[in-house]
Structure 1
Amino acid sequence: MTTPVNTATDHDTDNCPVVVVGAGAWGTALACAFSRNTSTVLWSRDPAQLEQMVQTRINARYLPQTRLPDALMLEADLHRALAHVTERPNQPASRAGLVILGTPMAGLPAITEKILADLQATGGRILGLIWTCKGLDAQSAKLPHEIMQTELEAADKTVPIGALSGPSFAKEVAQGLPVALTIASENEALCEATIQTLHSPHVRVYQSTDVLGVSVGGALKNIMAIACGISDGLELGDNARAALLTRGLAEMRRFGVALGAQASTFAGLTGLGDLVLTATGDLSRNRQLGLAIGQGQSPQVLLNQGITAEGARCVGAVLERARTLGVNLPISEAVHAVLFEGLSAQDCVTQLMTRDPARDI
């Protein structure tokens, strides 16, 4: 596949190179943002999609209204894409960079395995692997960092890892509108490289060491967004939405702390911030699913149509882990009952409102 030549000359040479793996909406948006600061490659597993982007400089499938920056390079071969950020012993000019995983939860184990295999084969070194997906794996009930740790152990490989998260819609990031994100990792060098490479007048990046808390916030906010969408679809009013947001935040924090996360994380961008955006923003797929259900559409029909709502995919796994911890998640339980157990949207509201009184914590 012929790729556009990166002709940009104004990138900061201190910024490390980046490859974004996955040309969905969020992967493409992040590639656009990174390419404004540093040498960036976007990899797509679909050669036809990539060829179309090469010809038109538009990702028609996911971001049809956004033109890709001229500096952004496109690649269909994963090995060649990774070579852009891999420092190799026999190539003195090579430079270690960041691999940003723009794949959904379902694709995280497989793509991580392929990347680690490539690094093993070449003896190369990268600055780190950063995932952007949010949720729990439906089969294993693992969070993203647990999946990454499993893959690293299987490959007998040591690579710094981290999560890039926060309240963000792909469309707005691709357009260069202001956004604040969090890079969460226990590796200081990875955090510093991410901040230096992504931070700009349009993108503000904060640092956290609470990878677990960031992952939990990213997973449960999608479930709460479905609940808020159902409430708005039923036209229950602003008071009901405010109650769901507040109690949803408490549910997120309760679950996260039980797993070992820091309570303070849930008051930040990846907790409250992401919850508010996803539960109230019109671009939110999880909110849109809830709205459609509240307006009378069948949950099973909607899910069978292939609607991508991570909250629906992970709510069962969340409840599975919550039960092993002895943690009560009433909103998550109600959403699961509506999606998969035949509970009507109105009965869902009744179920939540008639629960026994509890402390507001």
Structure 2
Amino acid sequence: MPVRIAAIDVSHWHSVYDAAYLKHLAHMEDVIVVAVQDADTEVAARRAAAVGGCAVYADYTVMLRQEKPDFVIALGRHDHMARTAHYLLDHGFPFLMEKPMGIDAAEVAGIVAKVEATGGFAAVPLPQRYSPFVKQAQVMLADGSFGRLSHGYIRMNRFSSARYPAWDSPWMLDPLASGGGCLRNLGMHGLDILMMLVDEPWQVTGAQLGSNALRQPVEDFATVMLRSASGVLATLEVGNAYPRRTAEGANALPTRDRLLDGADGEWKLCGEGALLMAKDGLLRVVRADSEVSLPGEPDGNPAVHVLRDTLQAWRSGRRPPAGARDCLRSVRLIDAAYRLAGSPG
């Protein structure tokens, strides 16, 4: 029998844009999206139509009671996420919840405590774990290629935050609802990979935020400096300042039907014996006596990998590939960076 899935707060852009979870689920033969929910039922109806039609609800408690889904995709505003997660855990629904699972680390810690007390299944999508950079870094760490690690560097500068209101998520520009801008939304990807590759405590040593480019109430660029327990240094840069907005040119604004493209990104891990870099779809491995280039594009869609692996883990009775505690580790560092940097602008 196919897995019956319901989705909560589908006005979140990742329902049908970017990660586009619902669209991917709609194409899986062993899955059926039975219902979607959002307080804005017009948005919910559009999302339902985008996946071929399903039931639409304004209240997720009613949806869950009536539809009794096997599994839940939980999206929504950051300041609503923790309440939703507690409801799902209290009522025994396994779920995949979009990061950051709450407005701050205190909220996410409450979810972790309940997951561990109840044995509930609470997954978080962290698609960068499937990147060629991570896979190559793991190989090189395992075979000792890096030697003593020196530093890591991650830059993810994506397109304008104008995409959020265009994609039915204007709350992302309200710091009270989102908990911050690009650092809150994008920072977890880089921080999770740093802690995955260098599995030891990390400390934020410096941070700065800026909103000069877009002049929004939330930051459009952030720089965070970190140090691991063994002395590895790292720099994380995240932003919404990539100037090209759509495939139709820099002057075209995003709309519900016009996807944005492009980003400025670079990933590095460096040690005494080797440097691994990912940029512009290529990997470069530099050693003292050699330099090679390798393919750097993902093998398939990372969001599909996340969904497949998460559902398989749940079906098999295993823990999620990435869970609430993984999310908490990154959110704690993000909170620390905001405390150091203060308000943007």
- Flag whether TM exceeds 0.5 (same fold): no
TM-score normalized with structure 1 length = 0.38
Higher relative contact order, chain-length normalized (CA < 8 Å, sep 6+):
2
TM-score normalized with structure 2 length = 0.40
Considering fraction of residues, name the structure with more helix.
Answer: 1
